[in-house]
């Protein structure tokens, strides 16, 4: 068996898990079908190929070198999403992956500029960008502070970054906002809703108003910023709150064991 083949038992296990997650996404979602990114961190390329054979096309990775290695072995119609901490010195490597689809963790103008400079001129489509928002305010979380009102937006780092991407980074396309909410909110009762998700929605609404007022440049999809929120433990709540993209790893691939 080659390194890209998986055992029949593992294939069946992945097929069942993927089908179950897809059903749960379909039931929880309202409106247009959301994008479900299969987070394949620490999982072998054979698992990804099995899911690809089952029709999955969007996969997410947290580490640049792991993404580079997997992209070189796997089908080029995969849409790779980078969802890990973004360092400016890794932007050239990321942007050079032919089928990198989206970077979901942009949080500085320096990183956006580095990505824009690194996108090959021959690339047919822009590189999609999500700006990461720290909705929980936790020090351990990356991302920029959320927006509370249009009045306070003029001094916001997030607004300045969004305008920078839209006006000064022609090889990038500002697709939306992303957050990794707090574990507390993720585990909270669904009766009151997830406050991190609500914070990201408010931030999106304020930022859309600011971008419409400022004019110039294209962003979002049909004049609407997309939301990437929700993971294995809370993606259904995220979808009910209006998320456009969910990132599911353990629910599909099972528990992760860090490579040694």
Cα–Cα distance, 21 to 37 (Å, whole number): 11
Instruction: Give the CATH number for residue 140.
Output: 3.20.20.10
Cα–Cα distance, 89 to 215 (Å, whole number): 31
Structural domain including 58 reads 8-253
Decide if 2 is inside a domain: no
Residues in the chain predicted with pLDDT less than 50, given as ranges, are 1, 189, 260
Provide the pLDDT for residue 141: 85
In degrees and rounded to multiples of 5, residue 35 shows phi and psi of -90, 125
Cβ of 139: how many Cβ atoms within 10 Å?
A: 6
Task: Give start and end residues of each alpha helix (H) in 78-170.
Answer: 91-95, 109-118, 157-168
Decide if 240 is inside a domain: yes
In degrees and rounded to multiples of 5, residue 5 shows phi and psi of -100, 145
Q: Residue 251: helix, strand or coil by DSSP?
A: helix
pTM here is: 0.94
pLDDT in tens, 202-215: 999 999 999 999 88
Decide if 158 is inside a domain: yes
Decide if 3 is inside a domain: no
Cα–Cα distance, 201 to 225 (Å, whole number): 10
219 torsion bin: left (phi>0), alpha (psi -120 to 50), beta (else): beta
Number of domains comprising the chain: 1
Provide the pLDDT for residue 2: 60
Decide if 1 is inside a domain: no
Provide the pLDDT for residue 31: 65
From 143, 2, 29, select the one nearest 86 (Cα to Cα). Answer: 143
Provide the pLDDT for residue 259: 56
Contact 248, 233 (CB under 8 A): no
Cα–Cα distance, 216 to 156 (Å, whole number): 19
Provide the pLDDT for residue 17: 97
Decide if 26 is inside a domain: yes
- List, in order, residues 6 or more apart from 157 with CB less than 8 Å away: 144, 145
Decide if 30 is inside a domain: yes
Cα–Cα distance, 32 to 40 (Å, whole number): 25
Decide if 113 is inside a domain: yes
Helix and strand counts by DSSP (H, E) for the chain: 10, 9
pLDDT in tens, 118-174: 999 999 999 999 999 999 888 878 899 999 888 778 789 999 999 999 999 999 999
């Amino acid at each position: 068996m080659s390194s890209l083949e998986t055992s029949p038992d593992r294939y069946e296990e992945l097929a069942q898990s993927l089908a179950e997650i897809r059903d749960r996404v379909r039931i929880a979602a309202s409106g247009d079908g959301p994008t479900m990114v299969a987070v394949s961190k620490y999982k072998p390329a054979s698992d990804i190929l099995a899911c690809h054979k089952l029709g999955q096309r969007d996969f997410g990775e947290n580490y640049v070198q792991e993404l580079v290695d997997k992209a070189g072995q796997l089908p080029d119609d995969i849409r790779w999403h980078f969802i890990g901490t973004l360092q400016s010195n890794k932007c050239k490597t990321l942007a050079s992956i032919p089928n990198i689809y989206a970077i979901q963790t942009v949080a500085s103008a320096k990183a956006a500029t580095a990505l824009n400079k690194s996108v090959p001129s021959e690339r047919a489509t822009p590189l999609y960008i999500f700006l990461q928002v720290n909705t929980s305010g936790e020090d351990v979380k990356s991302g920029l502070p959320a927006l509370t009102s249009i009045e306070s937006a003029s001094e916001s780092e997030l607004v300045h970054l969004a305008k920078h991407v839209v006006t000064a980074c022609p090889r990038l396309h500002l697709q939306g906002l992303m957050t990794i909410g707090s574990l507390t909110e993720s585990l909270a009762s669904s009766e009151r809703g997830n406050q991190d998700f609500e914070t990201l929605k408010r931030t999106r609404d304020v930022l859309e108003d600011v971008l419409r007022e400022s004019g110039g440049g294209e962003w979002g999809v049909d004049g609407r910023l997309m939301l990437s929120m929700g993971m294995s433990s809370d993606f259904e709540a995220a979808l009910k709150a209006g998320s456009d993209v969910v990132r599911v790893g353990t629910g599909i691939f099972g528990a992760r064991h860090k490579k040694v």
